[in-house]
Amino acid sequence: MRQQNTRSLLRSYFHRVQVIYFGLTDRVQEGRWVWDDGEELQPDQSNWRSGEPNNLNYDYTGHGEDCAFIAPRPQYQWNDSPCGTPGFVLCERPIQYQK
Ligand SMILES: [Ca+2]
Ligand SMILES: [Ca+2]
């Protein structure tokens, strides 16, 4: 998800899904977006929709919008949502090649 070519590939697979989480959160410190491996989001990796992240809605635990998701419509850009909002989860793992 950190690279544009990955995002382009995923568009063809997720065009019917409404909410896809991909391992980016600001739950520990509001406004500091971190990948699930602890690496901080870099400006050149960002793909936020205009006006996002806005931390607008709060869930029953008192947390704001602390989980980023991809919304296919209109342009596969990112939005932040309360982490309990139902959605699919995208996982990434390294590929091991056999010689
Ligand atoms: Ca937040
Ligand atoms: Ca939002």
Encode pLDDT of 26-69 as tens digits: 999 999 999 999 999 999 999 999 999 999 988 888 889 999 99
Ligand 1 center to residue 34 CA distance, Å? 11
pLDDT for the residue 26: 97
The DSSP H or E segment spanning 9 is: helix 4-11
User: Ligand 2 centroid to 28 CA: how many Å?
Assistant: 17
Q: What's the Cα-to-Cα distance from 95 to each of 3, 4, 36, 78, 92, rounded to whole Å?
A: 16, 19, 18, 26, 9
Better-predicted residue by pLDDT, 78 or 93: 78
The pTM (predicted TM-score) of the whole model is 0.80
User: What residue ranges do the domains of the chain occupy?
Assistant: 4-89
Both tokens of residue 70? 């991809």
Compute the distance from residue 35 Cα to the ligand 1 centre, in Å.
Answer: 14
pLDDT the model gives residue 16: 67
The bound ligand whose nearest atom lies closest to the alpha carbon of 77 is 2
CATH class of the structural domain 4-89 = alpha beta
Cβ within 8 Å of residue 80, ≥6 positions away: 26, 52, 53, 54, 55, 65, 66, 67, 68, 69
pLDDT, greater one: 76 or 39: 39
The per-residue pLDDT for 99 is 77
Q: Which ligand is nearest to the CA of 52?
A: 2
Do 16 and 72 contact (CB within 8 A), yes or no? yes
